[in-house]
C-alpha cells in the first residue's frame, strides 16, 4: 500500500512539474519569442517565429536581437526603457498640466494630472519601436488602439511629448492598420471598411517584424518539413534570395519607401508581390535633399550613384536582416569596399585612403552617409519650445565635404597626439 501511495505521489509530482514547465515555457514564448497560437489570415496560417527554431536556430537566435524583431512588443516593465522612479517619471507641459508614468496593481499607466488632480489614465499595452531612437506606446480602448501622449527618447534618456503631438495632453490619436503593417507581422481588422477608428482582433496580432513578414505565413511549411525531415528543398515558404532586384526592393519599400497610399487592405501585400499592385506609388520626382532621413530610405538610396550605377544593388546588399549590426561601422565599410576596390574596373575609389590609412577605410558611412536630423522623429523635451530631432544615417550616398573634412581633421588630430606621446 505504501508503495502504491508513493508511486501515486511521485506520478502526481511529475505531472505538476511537467505542467509547470509547459506553463512557464508558454509564458516565455509569448513574451520573448512571439510564438503564441497559430493565426489565420485568409487561406493561410501563421505558425509563429518559435516554430522556426528547430531547423534555423542560429538565424532565429540572432534575429531576436534585431530592431525589426523588437519594433513592437507587449508592454512590460522589462521592455519599457523610460524610468518610473519618482522625479524621473513625468512630463510637465506647464505649471498646471503633467503626465506621470505610474506602476499600479493592474499594469503600468500614463496618468494625466491637471492642477494635481487625476483626469485620465491609460495603460501601456504595447511598445512601438526598438528603442534605438526611442519608443512610443499604445493602449487598448475596447478593440481600438490609441497612441499614448508620452514617448521615450533614447539619446537624452527622457520622457518626451510624442512626435507630432500638440503641446498639450491628448489620448485620442488612433493607431491604424497601416501603422501596424510596418510595426507588426500581422494584425486582423474586424471593423467595417473605412470605419474609423479601426477595430482589431486582440488575439490575432503578431507583434514585431518577424520571420513570416519576409518569408510568408509558415504553418504549411512547418507541417510539411516536420513530416518530411529529409526533404532538402523547402516547400510552402518564400525565399527572398530567389527574388528579382525589384521584388527585393519592394519588400523593403513597404515600410521604408515613404508615404504609400494603400488601394487594398493592409497586410494583403506579401513579400514577392509587386508593391504598386497594393499601393499608389508617388511617381513625382522629388529632390533627394528634401526627403526626410527617416521613413523613405528607399527614395534616398534610389537617388544615389551607387544604386544608379548598379544592376544588382538592393537593401540586402549592405544589410543582413537576420543580425543586429547596428553601430558596426567596420562591417558596413567592408561591404562598401567590396565594390569600391581596384578589382572593379569602373569602381570609384576612396581618394583619402592612400593618405589617411586604415582608419578611414573602416568608417565609410561617416563621410558618405552621415547622421542627419529627422523632422519625422522630432520630439518636444521637457521645458523646450523647439522640437529635438533624432539623428539617423542618411541613405543618400554621396560626398559630404563638411563631414569628410571633420573626419580627416579627427584622424590628423589623433596622429598628432600619438606622435607627441
- Residues 6+ away with beta carbon under 8 Å from 225: 55, 231, 234, 235
pLDDT in tens, 171-197: 999 999 999 999 999 999 999 988 999
Sites in the chain below the pLDDT cut of 50: 1-36
DSSP H/E element including 373: strand 371-379
Q: What angle do CA 407, 325, 328 make, to 5 degrees?
A: 25
The pLDDT of residue 356 is 65
pTM for this entry: 0.86
The DSSP code sequence of 193-226 is TT-SS--EEEEEEEEBS-HHHHH---HHHHHHHH
Contact between residue 162 and residue 148 where contact means Cβ atoms under 8 Å apart: yes
Our measurement of the distance from residue 312's CA atom to the centroid of its chain's CA atoms, rounded to an integer in Å, reads: 25
- C-alpha grid cell, residue 234: 523547402
Question: What is the 3-state secondary structure of 326-351?
Answer: CCCHHHHHHHHHCCCCCCCCCCCCCC
pLDDT in tens, 316-372: 999 999 999 998 988 999 999 888 888 876 777 787 776 666 677 778 998 999 999
pLDDT in tens, 397-411: 999 999 988 888 877
**Per residue in 365-393, is it b (16+ CB within 10 Å) or e — as a string?**
bbbbbbebebeebbbbbeeeeebbbbebb
- C-alpha grid cell, residue 8: 501515486
- C-alpha grid cell, residue 403: 563631414
Mean residue pLDDT of the chain comes to 87
Q: How many CB atoms lie within 10 A of CB 98?
A: 19
d(CA 162, CA 251): 28
Q: How many CB atoms lie within 10 A of CB 233?
A: 4
Contact between residue 155 and residue 133 where contact means Cβ atoms under 8 Å apart: yes
The pLDDT of residue 87 is 93
Amino acid at each position: 500500500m505504501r508503495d502504491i501511495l508513493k508511486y501515486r505521489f511521485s506520478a502526481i509530482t511529475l505531472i505538476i512539474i511537467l505542467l509547470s514547465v509547459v506553463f512557464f515555457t508558454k509564458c516565455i514564448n509569448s513574451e520573448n519569442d512571439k510564438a503564441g497560437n497559430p493565426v489565420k489570415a485568409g487561406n493561410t496560417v501563421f505558425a509563429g517565429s518559435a516554430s522556426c527554431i528547430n531547423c534555423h536556430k542560429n538565424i532565429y537566435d540572432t534575429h531576436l536581437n534585431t530592431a525589426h524583431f523588437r519594433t513592437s512588443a507587449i508592454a512590460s516593465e522589462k521592455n519599457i526603457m523610460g524610468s518610473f522612479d519618482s522625479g524621473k517619471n513625468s512630463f510637465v507641459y506647464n505649471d498646471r498640466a503633467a503626465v506621470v508614468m505610474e506602476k499600479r496593481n493592474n499594469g503600468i499607466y500614463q496618468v494625466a494630472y491637471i492642477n494635481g488632480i487625476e483626469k485620465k489614465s491609460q495603460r501601456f499595452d504595447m511598445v512601438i519601436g526598438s528603442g534605438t531612437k526611442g519608443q512610443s506606446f499604445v493602449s487598448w480602448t475596447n478593440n481600438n488602439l490609441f497612441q499614448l501622449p508620452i514617448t521615450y527618447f533614447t539619446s537624452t534618456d527622457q520622457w518626451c511629448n510624442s512626435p507630432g503631438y500638440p503641446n498639450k495632453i491628448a489620448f485620442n490619436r488612433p493607431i491604424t492598420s497601416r501603422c501596424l503593417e510596418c510595426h507588426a507581422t500581422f494584425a486582423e481588422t474586424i471593423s467595417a471598411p473605412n470605419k474609423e477608428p479601426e477595430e482589431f482582433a486582440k488575439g490575432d496580432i503578431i507583434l514585431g517584424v518577424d520571420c513570416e513578414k519576409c518569408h510568408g505565413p509558415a504553418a504549411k511549411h512547418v507541417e510539411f518539413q516536420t513530416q518530411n525531415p529529409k526533404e532538402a528543398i523547402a516547400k510552402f515558404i518564400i525565399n527572398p534570395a530567389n527574388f528579382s532586384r525589384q521584388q527585393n526592393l519592394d519588400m523593403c519599400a513597404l515600410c521604408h519607401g515613404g508615404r504609400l497610399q494603400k488601394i487594398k487592405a493592409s497586410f494583403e501585400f506579401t513579400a514577392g508581390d509587386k508593391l504598386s499592385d497594393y499601393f499608389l506609388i508617388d511617381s513625382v520626382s522629388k529632390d533627394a535633399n528634401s526627403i526626410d532621413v527617416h521613413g523613405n530610405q528607399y527614395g534616398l538610396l534610389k537617388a544615389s550613384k551607387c544604386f544608379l550605377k548598379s544592376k544588382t544593388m538592393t537593401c540586402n546588399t549592405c544589410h543582413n536582416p537576420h543580425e543586429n549590426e547596428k553601430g558596426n561601422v567596420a562591417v558596413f565599410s567592408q561591404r562598401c569596399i567590396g565594390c569600391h576596390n581596384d578589382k572593379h574596373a569602373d569602381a570609384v575609389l576612396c581618394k583619402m585612403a592612400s593618405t589617411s590609412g586604415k582608419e578611414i577605410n573602416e568608417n565609410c558611412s561617416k563621410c558618405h552617409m552621415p547622421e542627419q536630423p529627422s523632422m519625422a522623429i522630432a520630439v518636444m523635451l521637457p521645458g523646450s519650445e523647439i522640437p529635438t530631432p533624432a539623428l539617423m544615417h542618411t541613405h543618400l550616398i554621396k560626398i559630404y565635404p563638411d563631414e569628410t573634412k571633420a573626419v580627416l581633421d579627427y584622424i590628423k588630430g589623433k596622429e598628432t597626439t600619438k606622435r607627441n606621446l
